[in-house]
Structure 1
């Protein structure tokens, strides 16, 4: 049972309790858990099994939801083990669909992806942020489009294909979808429904682990592109998938107009190193000093010691984890560059400690 928030642990909490929006949220939540004046809350209308390790969550957001563009992603916040955790997921639905869809594939070591797949059921509530991202169609849609998807990277591309269907696209589009096996094709029925309805779309499934007669096998390569794409030099390309696939795609497509959306698991975007000893990290707002090895991201090493700063994408995109570094040197793991020793804002999810640090945390 909920109680009125009259008892607090300190003056800050008491002052916060006097804020009109906080009181409004409390009373609205008593009427309907989805009601809020401060947070985008979405009710899970249904859960659709896509594959053995991927599900689509069908969501009904409250009135604070401002909409999205096909190809964008949204922050999803859940409470796990008593702490709020945020991750970003692409929307797989079309902006004009009745409900929002996010399609989530379980990832090894993926705290939120596993939680959503294992625990979320119809009637549950999720907290969303505003949609964002530049992985969207240009204002003037090119006449020739090539989509390269790997695994769960199909989700924003699926939304874009639905947008092309909605605007009655008159050009030509081709999708090369790289997955482990036929049973791992995510959103298969919807993809084939779009292709059946649209004479502008051709889909090729390419299996990396379990071959299937009549389909290509292997990973993204020049040979695969030559086999399936005759108009590569005149195509605008959209790429979404694991880091190795994206790296290969960008090298093969150098000189072509390419948009990419990179989905990484924690640690995939980082070059781990082995170091001797530790460095001190002084958290100025918490008034505590901890020792880290400086072998992985600051965020990971803080979490390893039970300290959980705000974070979101964990790949340097969303800027949720930005904090002020007052002194010390870090390496930016997204590009390998070392910082200056003085004051600057850093993203702790893609920063590795190189010396003693003072962080505004």
Structure 2
């Protein structure tokens, strides 16, 4: 809680202290952790074990929650070691369900995914932002759909399947779900139930690492697509999974209508390089100058030195980490393009320093 200010250098500082919404949030939070006038808070009312390293968190949000569309993701903020950290997770439930669900798979080096799986329990309260994302069904549903999922990329696709079920879809849907082993299939019981109750859905689990009798083994190939989707040229495609799978899928599906949502592991798909020496990064709001190697994203290299700017998805989607570059050059790791030296807004999670920089941080 704030302490009463005895000395303020500027009237504005005193007025900032007397922010009624912040005081209201404090007192409401004492009554009920979900109560807030500024923040969407959600109570964890149930936790479901999906696999050895994935859990579904059932959430009851407060009245500030604005809803979502199937396939969208939501920023989730938790406090870890005294600092607030935000990551984006797809909603695995349907918008019409009473409670929200996010399904989180633990990732090696994943700060928030590991924290949620290890530490979160029933009764805890998470902070949510607004749902967003374009990985949603079009208003005019196609007659044939191919859904390609890899690993935890099944979560938004699971929500889309529930949406198709709620819409009484009468076309044809093929889901090809690529996982390492049977034990890694996330949301399997729910997917199997949707398939059982809807003739329009065909599900094929494809195991990449640990074969098992009764299951197909292998990786995404032209042969796999030809086998399960003979009318591929007249099919709309949704792809969600890790970078290697998506790269392969987009090359095989070139020329077809494809929507994709990239699921990155920490550090994945951000091209790292080896450089000699360091470059200076001046943080104009903090009045600090630090040295970075310019080998990884600016966000990674700042965090390595104990500086934690706002961030979210860490893959260039959510724009939470956008800041103004006032001088210097960066490389956009999402497309390899090098910037001009002048002023512009950049996403520091997918930007690498190429020269001395001045950032509005």
TM-score interval (norm. to shorter): over 0.9
Q: How does 1:132-151 map to 2 (within 5 A)?
A: 132-151=132-151
Change (3 A) 1:143 1:300: same
CA distance in 2, matches of 1:298, 1:16: 31
1:51-200 alignment, distance < 5 Å = 51-200=51-200
How many angstroms does 1:8 deviate by?
9.2
CA contact (8 A) 1:325 1:358 kept: yes
Matches of 1:16 and 1:22 in 2, distance apart? 10
Q: What are the within-5 Å matches in structure 2 for residues 1-361 of structure 1?
A: 3=1, 5-6=3-4, 14-361=14-361
In 1, Cα distance between equivalents of 2:281 and 2:135: 36
The Cα of 1:10 is off from its aligned counterpart by 7.1
Secondary structure at 2:169 match in 1: coil
Q: Is the 8 A contact 1:65 1:130 kept in 2?
A: yes
Residues paired across the two proteins, number: 359
RMSD: 1.4
Name the CA distance, whole Å, in 1 between partners of 2:315 and 2:187: 25
Cα distance, 1:228 vs structure 2: 1.5
For residue 17 of structure 1, report the CA deviation from its aligned partner: 2.8
3-state SS of 1:255 partner: coil
1:15 CA displacement:
3.7
C-alpha distance in 2, partners of 1:8/1:45?
A: 42
How far apart are the structure 2 equivalents of 1:221 and 1:29?
Answer: 52
* 1:56 to partner: Cα distance: 0.1
Unpaired runs of at least 5, structure 2: none
TM-score calculated relative to the size of structure 1: 0.97
CA distance in 2, matches of 1:308, 1:6: 28
The answer to whether the Cα contact below 8 Å between 1:60 and 1:100 also exists between their aligned partners in 2 is: yes
Q: Tell me the SS of whatever aligns to 1:147.
A: strand
CA distance in 2, matches of 1:109, 1:265: 8
Task: Determine the C-alpha separation between the residues in 2 that align with 1:66 and 1:243.
Answer: 31
Q: Is the 8 A contact 1:16 1:22 kept in 2?
A: no
Deviation at 1:37, TM superposition (A): 0.4
Task: State the secondary structure of the residue aligned to 1:259.
Answer: strand
SS of the residue aligned with 1:277? coil
CA distance in 1 between partners of 2:200 and 2:157 (Å): 15
* Higher alpha-carbon deviation: 113-122 or 267-276: 267-276
Q: Secondary structure at the match of 2:165?
A: helix
Q: Give the TM-score normalised by structure 2.
A: 0.97
Segments of structure 1 that go 5 or more residues without pairing to the other structure are: none
Task: Give the distance between the partners of 2:28 and 2:170, measured in 1 at CA.
Answer: 47
Which stretch shifts more, 338-347 or 266-275? 266-275
Partner deviation per Cα, 1:149-198 (whole Å, 9 max, x = no partner): 00000000000000000010010001000001111110001001101110
Q: Secondary structure at the match of 2:183?
A: helix
| Contact 2:172–2:201 (Cα < 8 Å) also in 1 | yes
Shift of residue 6, structure 1, vs aligned partner: 2.7
